[in-house]
Structure 1
Amino acid sequence: MPWRLGYYTYGAQSAWRMAFADLLNNARDFADSAKTDMDTLPARECEPRMLYRLRHLQPDAPLIGLAERYIDALHQANLARRAHSSAVPGAYMPAEEDPATVARLQPDFDRYLQASADLRTALASADIGARREQQRLLEQRLGRDIHWHLLDYMIQARLTVEQLDQGVREKTLTPGQLARASQDLQQAWDAGQPLRNQPQNGRSESAHYLWSQITRPAQRYQQTLHTLHQDWQERAAPERLSEDYHNVVRAYDSLLSYYNKQAQVDY
């Protein structure tokens, strides 16, 4: 979630501070740009909606425990923030805080970030599997139509950011791998172009509209991948490459926010 960046402003990571400032200055990059209140957002978005469908569909799902820990960690972090921080109530984190305040808040924020990372990792695996199965059923029923290609692009977008994330964490990513990942993503986008150019009908109308909603964030995502590759090839400073990488992740989150906002309505 974009407001996750707020907690990073208490750290020493300048790239996250810059990303957070950029988030506030360019809130429209996210479909949920109006959701900027850290006091009301968790209650409205996480409790109870976050777990309602999962408990209903799969009561014994391992994700439930991870999600419960995430919600609890978020709640505790917000309580600590309100108790010790000089931030304006309901706002994101201030740009600076004194070291003593940071030391008091850090354990709660670290616990939240770990819970967030654990949940995100588990969701990534479950999400790809579910989308692959959905794609298989779509192809069985309708062939590789516009809905199939839309889902195929979003799967490729997810695989791309996951590949980069793993490569960065394990320090195995190469410029060649990055270039191929970017090319695969562009090919997935281009493969749907002929269908996007066809006249709409009742069955394809929702997919046409959803494609139009993700066009701008998808182009931004592709551009951030290109920028990272270009700067890497030109041997840019590590700080610049770190910023480029965070821009890639942020661009994917932006794309996903626009897709999910409309997909929740259409599907």
Structure 2
Amino acid sequence: MNPNWLFPIGLGLGLTLFGLAGSGKQLGQIGLWLDHRDSPYTAQANALSPIIDCMNQVDVPWRVAHQAYLAEGKPRSAAPGAYDLRSQGGQDIDLAYRSSCSGDIGAKLRSLDPDNPLLAATERYQQVLARFVALTKDAYMHRLGLGRTLDEAQLDELVRQLEIQAPDYLQASNAVRQLLQPQDVEHRPQQLQRLEQRLGRNVHWALLNYMIQARSTMDLLDDGIRQRTLTPAQLSQATQRLRQAWEARQQFIGSIQDPQTREALYLWQLIAAPSQHYLQALDTLHRDWLQHAEPQRLGEDFHAVTQGYDQMLYHYNQLARSRY
């Protein structure tokens, strides 16, 4: 199977949406993370959780809004409301920044690992984000048509600043993601094993296992595309493992349930639609690849996969954060 279609996609990965694996904060709230006194792996997860929460609440919807603005051709008239995160299901950008990103989100990590390079990258990201928030804090009102009217000179300056600040933001965000993602997923298998030892393969284990499989599938595609080594067989096997992890929830439906089990199943139910879209996008990519579709079509399929994962994870984090 010709892997040449992977090359142009690999070049664009820096601008592709890659959601972060579910934060330790959210998972801890439904009993999925172990007490930090029992496990150094959970101490690491707890230390990273404020940074992950910031990225999930701001960076993920920011990138969706940015992609939408680019897809429209960056129309000048749409610039004032282009980065309205509410249009992507998030909070107002100013509120999201103040609630999740404005404080010392690296404090826990600094106490645990003061030399971690992620700390400097996070501080840089917060500085760049603060400038972007100041520039676009009225985006929601502008999208509703209620923002203050900008004259031609003000609109020109806004467009000019967006052209400068958006690339700066992406550079700072990518630096955090590149350092954060490996640290975030590094100890997940050990956490899953300890959870099984303590509670068995219960509904919480199954949900955490599914989230790990969802992230692992994206990592497989990411690495395979960057190195041009991904094969249809690898994609098929990863999709099958993910589907099995998803279907594991069925064994808990209809059984005698304690409150925590009901909460976990409710969360699983709420992410059902985006999770199915993610699986369907993986199936479509595999089918089109086997049918020797054009590279452009495969690129579109891959973009649908990344969007499916990102939307699934974004809804998971939003729902877990608000409910638990």
Scaled by the length of structure 1, the TM-score of the pair is 0.74
2:128 to 44, 60, 73: 73
| Equivalent-residue separation in structure 2 for 1:3 and 1:139 (angstroms) | 36
Q: Which residue of 2 aligns with 1:117?
A: 174
Provide the C-alpha distance between the structure 1 equivalents of 2:118 and 2:73, rounded to a whole number of angstroms.
27
Question: What's 2:256 paired with?
Answer: 199
Cα distance, 1:143 vs. partner?
Answer: 0.9
Asked if residue 33 in structure 1 is aligned to residue 86 in structure 2, the reply is no
| Counterparts in 2 of 1:62 and 1:2: CA distance versus 1, 3 Å | same
Q: Deviations over 1:171-210 (max 9, x none)?
A: 2222222111111111212233212342312342222222
Taking the aligned partners of 1:206 and 1:253, their CA distance within structure 2 comes to: 22
Aligned-residue offset at 1:259: 2.2
Alignment partner, residue 63 of structure 1: 118
Q: How far, CA to CA, are the matches of 2:287 and 2:72 in structure 1?
A: 19
1:108 Cα deviation after fit = 2.9
| Equivalent residues of 1:146, 1:196 under 8 A apart | no
Q: 2:229 aligns with which of 172, 175, 183?
A: 172
Q: State how far apart, in whole Å, the 1-side matches of 2:303 and 2:114 are.
A: 35
Q: 1:173 to 1:90 in 2, by over 3 A?
A: farther
Cα pair 1:8 1:16 within 8 Å, conserved: no
**What's 1:21 paired with?**
none
Alignment length (residue pairs): 246
Aligned partners of 1:50 and 1:219: how far apart in 2?
33
TM-score (norm 2): 0.63
**Would you say 1:6 and 2:69 are equivalent positions?**
no
Unaligned runs of 5+ in 2: 1-59, 75-81, 144-154
Counterpart AA for 2:249: G
Which amino acid in structure 2 is aligned with residue 3 of structure 1?
W
Distance 1:252 1:59, change over 3 A: same
Partner of 1:46: 101
Partner of 1:143: 200
- Structure with the bigger RCO (C-alpha within 8 Å, sep 6+) is 2
User: Shift of the alpha carbon at 1:229?
Assistant: 1.4
Q: Secondary structure at the match of 1:190?
A: helix
Is this contact kept in 2: 1:15–1:246, CA < 8 A? no
* Aligned-partner Cα distance in 1 for 2:259–2:212: 24
Equivalent AA in structure 2 for residue 71 of structure 1? Q
Alignment of 1:98-109 (within 5 A): 105-109=162-166
The change in CA–CA distance for 1:88 and 1:215 in structure 2 (over 3 A counts) is closer
Q: Please give the root-mean-square deviation of Cα atoms over the aligned residues, in Å.
A: 3.7
Is 1:219 the counterpart of 2:307? The answer is no
State the alpha-carbon separation in 2 of the partners of residues 34 and 51 from structure 1.
Answer: 23
State the identity %: 41
Is 192-201 or 54-63 further displaced after alignment? 54-63
